[in-house]
Structure 1
Amino acid sequence: MKHVTILVPDVQTANSTIACIVGAYQVFTGANAYWQEQGKAPLFTIETAGVAEESTFINGLLTFKPQVNIASLQRTDLILIPSITPAFEQAVQGNVLLIDWLRQQYKNGAEVASMCTGAFILASSGLLEKRSCSIHWNSANHFRALFPDIQLKTEKLITDERGIYTNGGGYSFLNLLLYLVEKYYDRETAIYCSKIFQIELDRQTQSTFAIFTGQKSHSDDVVKDAQQYLEDHFHEKISVEDLSKRFAVGRRNFDRRFIKATGNTPLEYLQRIKVESAKKAFETTRKTVNEVMYEVGYSDVKAFREVFRKVTGMSPLAYRNRYNKEALPHQL
């Protein structure tokens, strides 16, 4: 029988930490139960493990007692890291012990999956080096600042590289759990868990839920000024060439500095500003897709659709119909 370990962090926890722990325990327990109903032996022994006898969550509202101490677990097959505080700065106290244990277990053959901001712990272990990673879109800028060499894929709901798994934000950790159930059990069991726990199966992206606020936690004042200019004039026709001239920086150097500071090219940044403005219009007004398109500075329907879908994973009309209950079914 395989062993799955659900980690219980001792410090830097968040309200969502307990949800990840309980959710993971429940889904894998459900998968085991389904296998038993099919006449098969349970696939996993499921245990919560930590470094302290108990951990406190939600300002003392809940106390959780791990079933085992990690020191007693010499070997496991799958490790699940729950979300932690988005304000993570560095591994401290008990979490350092968890990280050391993670490294050793992965070296021994265990696979490791982080849920939401649990990616901060995973990244601190060094196991994400030369791998891609997903995390809650709202924590992406902070993650990039702490781990600039890790390839962040915030549009992806799940990443899977050589036994290391990460996922996006919030309760999308449930989709990661279904993914792991299908990988370790089978598709039939994943479908069963999807129905029992009412989790949408096969979600691939979290782009639809992202809110773009810009990345300004950097020290390049020229880029900050350029960002502000783009945000103030996004509805106008702006060329990157003219933008670099406005701030007296050569085009190639301007692009390089902009990407280093924000994670986006100037054009990508402008597109995301336009799309964010369009999203708000679709959510709060009864304007047609054409009306919103012109307001945010597009005149070509095909180009607007392609950029909007690239950023959100949905067409403008589909987004409008999903998030604005009062919108009439206008046709483009």
Structure 2
Amino acid sequence: MIVLLAEPETSASVLYGLYDVLLSAGAVYTDMVAGTPGQELLEVKIASADGKAFHCLGNIPVEPHAAIDDLDRADAVIVCDMYTSIHDVPTGRYPREAAWLKRLHRDGALVCSVCSGALLIAETGLLNGHRATAHWAYRSMFQRNYPKIAFRNESVLCLEAEGDRIVTAGGVSAWHDLAVYLIARYCGYRQAIETAKVFLISGHSEGQSPYAVMTRPMASEDGPISDCQTWIADNYAMAKPVERMVARSGLNARTFSRRFKAATGFAPIEYVQALRIEEAKQMLETDTLSVDEVGVSVGYDDPASFRRVFKRGVGLSPSAYRKKFQRIAQIARPLEVH
């Protein structure tokens, strides 16, 4: 049995997408290709804290099959996304659910999450000492509030804690990858392939990095650092930007680096590189400049250096990134009327 844990903060697309795909394993493919419905291979239930009907995000109605305390066993439980602001740590928000997850995990269940659902698993302590993923926007939150967890913001499906029966999936649509993984685990590889064909699920082989956008919370409590953040936002392409920020702050280099990292989650040079790459990404998505011209525009006179830094941060070369997002632009851009 696979249990989907949902709350009012859950996205309907994640909850009902997972439910539909997992429940279809074994049943739909043969019906589509041979006209003979197969047998459902997975028992899937939706659960909430009290089991009562509620509305999730978008005011979509949800009628759980059970309350969590009515389910004392499961092969796997998936914590669906539970939207949380990147500034609002959900500490203590779900005590009953956290205790229930720990109990099921202790009794042998595989514990999984999608997107911000990883925050609830983090609250249980089960992820301490492990690598895990969630949506890339939660990188800084994990670093600040869950330092015992190695956050993998580039991963779509993190299996590095699989040996301890924990699997985490990245952004909201990463439920596709998690669903295919679970079908393969419990029903076999062939069933996973057939289900993927039914739903046109191709996975996210390039990871999250091409989609990630730099989050930049301002260091409002540290005036010199906040001032430098404001300054570098418009001056990232200048030569020796870190030296200029150190001089601007009035701090010595070591103190500046320590306070900057504490306030932003980035080392100063990493912050500058992230700003440059973020601007380069936007230019590659929309402009017609060559890759080398884009590199120069954001502060890299050496084309090889620009390509190396871009590939390390994004997971794709600048040319591959441009090709990927120009395809999306072609789909999204309205047809021009002549």
Question: Partner letter of residue 206 of structure 1?
Answer: Q
Asked if the contact 2:241–2:272 (Cα under 8 Å) also holds between the matched residues in 1, the reply is no
Question: Partner letter of residue 195 of structure 1?
Answer: K
Instruction: Report the Cα distance in structure 1 between the residues aligned to 2:134 and 2:221, rounded to whole angstroms.
Output: 24
Match of 1:56, SS state, is strand
Aligned to 1:80: 78
Identify the range of structure 1 (171-180 vs 278-287) with the bigger mean alpha-carbon deviation: 171-180
Q: 1:299 to 1:82 in 2, by over 3 A?
A: same
| RMSD over equivalenced CA pairs, Å | 2.8
Identify the range of structure 1 (22-31 vs 214-223) with the bigger mean alpha-carbon deviation: 214-223
Aligned to 1:255: 257
Q: 1:125 to 1:293 in 2, by over 3 A?
A: same
Aligned to 2:170: 168
Match of 1:309, SS state, is helix
Alignment of 1:1-332 (within 5 A): 3-9=1-7, 11=8, 13-14=9-10, 16=11, 18-33=12-27, 43-50=41-48, 51-58=50-57, 61-87=59-85, 88-90=88-90, 95-160=94-159, 161=161, 162-201=164-203, 203-216=205-218, 219-238=221-240, 240-241=242-243, 243-324=245-326
Instruction: Report the Cα distance in structure 1 between the residues aligned to 2:47 and 2:130, rounded to whole angstroms.
Output: 26
Give how far 1:41 is off.
7.7
Give how far 1:165 is off.
1.4
Gaps of 5+ in 2: 32-37, 331-338
Q: 1:180 to 1:225 in 2, by over 3 A?
A: farther
Identify the range of structure 1 (215-224 vs 231-240) with the bigger mean alpha-carbon deviation: 215-224
Instruction: Report the Cα distance in structure 2 between the residues aligned to 1:129 and 1:218, rounded to whole angstroms.
Output: 29
Asked if the contact 1:216–1:224 (Cα under 8 Å) also holds between the matched residues in 2, the reply is yes
Asked if the contact 1:175–1:203 (Cα under 8 Å) also holds between the matched residues in 2, the reply is no
Q: Deviations over 1:268-320 (max 9, x none)?
A: 11111111111111122211111111111111111111111111111111222
Identify the range of structure 1 (49-58 vs 252-261) with the bigger mean alpha-carbon deviation: 252-261
Q: Deviations over 1:170-213 (max 9, x none)?
A: 21221222223333333332222222111113625111111224
Equivalent residues, number: 319
Asked if the contact 1:75–1:108 (Cα under 8 Å) also holds between the matched residues in 2, the reply is yes
Asked if the contact 1:240–1:266 (Cα under 8 Å) also holds between the matched residues in 2, the reply is yes
Q: 1:65 to 1:155 in 2, by over 3 A?
A: same
Give how far 1:32 is off.
3.8
Give how far 1:143 is off.
4.4
* TM-score (normalised: structure 1): 0.85
Asked if the contact 2:28–2:198 (Cα under 8 Å) also holds between the matched residues in 1, the reply is no
Give how far 1:145 is off.
4.2
Question: Partner letter of residue 90 of structure 2?
Answer: Q
Instruction: Report the Cα distance in structure 2 between the residues aligned to 1:77 and 1:133, rounded to whole angstroms.
Output: 20
Give how far 1:42 is off.
5.8
Give how far 1:106 is off.
0.8
Gaps of 5+ in 1: 328-332
Asked if the contact 2:153–2:209 (Cα under 8 Å) also holds between the matched residues in 1, the reply is yes
Give how far 1:249 is off.
2.9
* TM-score (normalised: structure 2): 0.84
